[in-house]
Structure 1
Amino acid sequence: MLDHLAHNPIRQSHEHVALDARLRQALADNAGMLQSRAVDLVHRLQAVEVVLDPSLLETVLHAALSWMARPGYRLSITLEMQSMPDHALLNFKARPTVSDSNPDQPHGSAPYRLSWWLLVEAAGLAQIPIQHSESTQSLSLMLEFRRTVKQLEKSNPMDLGGGTDSWASSHSKLPLGQRVLLVTDDAGLVEIMAPLCRSSHVTLESVSSPEQAKARCDVERPQILIFDQRLNGVGLESVRRDLLAADPQMPVLEVTDDQHSLTMTSWVDDTIERITRDNLTIKLPSVLARLLGKSA
């Protein structure tokens, strides 16, 4: 977590952030820690958008996971909206799976005190109220996010834009809360795709390596996988093969520099669609609408 903070300095900005996507990212980032502590993880996450500083939010989520993930505990995480007022509630509950779990690492030990301090400080800066309780046999933590964007189910289709493109009307009818996972180490590609996905009410998540993509998919599979062809190599090919073998019906899109690329045959006798970087702005929304329609 300290390494995360060192490489992600806190910014003071307020942006529309997909809270559920950031939480999934934090779970993937901490997969090694959760596994090493033998944490039994279950989660149920609604699609929720909040207006918040992204770096502060990431710090809060990483600190909360570090504080709640006790060796041998079952950790349950829920994210949901409540009405009147429209606040988002993120709940963590942990109980030992065996009676003598964690005998050598009491709740008050130094690593957990540090995680708690980071959580309180970051949540205070982000104006996120905290409620918690702890005993020898259970832990609970609730974070309340008061600055939320309307739930995706209440979104106005007119928000897709003022144009009359045929994809807009069909895409607005797609199931909401869809997730797209982009595998690229090109920050510029993420910057291009993020607003396109946001305007289409699709949550874009990104990872910078094939290994991170596999870890993310192990937590929860996205509706579409998008690979940057510039990452081509043995690692990407192996991970892509494994993911498609596990779910042959998963739509896959590849971003390429080749102007003449259309589709290619995959290892499971399906097709992997390709789209060029130069055509992303024009063609990505309609391609997403068609692929998400197939996976709905």
Structure 2
Amino acid sequence: MEFRIDGVVREKESKQPVRGLLVHPVDKDRLYTELLGYVITNSDGSFSIGYACEDFEELFENQPDIHLEIYGSTIARYPERINGNPIYTTERRVRFSDGGREYFEIEIPSDQLGADVPDIQHISTLGADNWKRLIHEYVEQHPVKFHYEQCKGFASPRLVVTAKFPFFGTSDVFSVRNFRKLIVNVTNNGNGISFSTYVEVFEGPLGFGHRLIDYRLCSYQILTVNPGQTVTISMRYNRLMRSGSLVVVCFDPFLDPLGFHIVEQKHHDHLTSWHYFSAALAGPHTTFYNHNSPLLVNP
């Protein structure tokens, strides 16, 4: 029998994975700490450390109070300098479950990460100004039709996105942290060219009432889409959460001059999402549901 401690470490504010940190399981009474070892987080923030039962028989029998201490990259380069002053300590303890596997999702505030704060990939429209409000009002007051007659209306793109979400399989154990490809179709149903269509894939919490900042940007591309054209692209991403949702957004800074900050249930054709969750008590199965009615609103 083998017991494993797996997990992922992210920055709390950006949800970006943090690489190069040292994860050190620690026994509260310090009786077994020397046996527990340590592991360094990978480029996607993941970590995994295993123990064979025959080598740790006393550990499994006594089931000591074990938590995880996280140290910065400086200590990770010189593990012999572990000094009992971690940058973060988990409140949750290892439970020695019957399944032989513990999984931790750890989010560390940026001020505690210090120099290990990841480079944040973030795409946003320009800062607020009067021109954004005026363009937004004009677009709302001049609905476009699919024909280019400038004298009859305002030339503007109207973007629609759909995605072919992958099937993760019946067990999510092998899906977390794996890189996958997502096929995305972007269609311009307006009568104007979208010169800078931003297509973004986010991973975040379940539900439709969370802030966009609560989602982690997995990947993005910038396209030009002509009126009536559909562009198909392949986007690479990795799933880091056992329960959550993938959200695909396409937008044009001119089409959405005010930007957006809330992901909630509302009919909007330039967003699509896919939700998945796993219930520990229900067994290692993942339930998915695809929502192609988009969820995006302006603030």
Superposition TM-score tier, normalisation by shorter sequence:
under 0.3
- In the superposition, the TM-score normalised over structure 2's length comes to 0.27
- Structure having the higher Rg: 2
- In the superposition, the TM-score normalised over structure 1's length comes to 0.27
> Which structure shows the higher strand fraction?
2
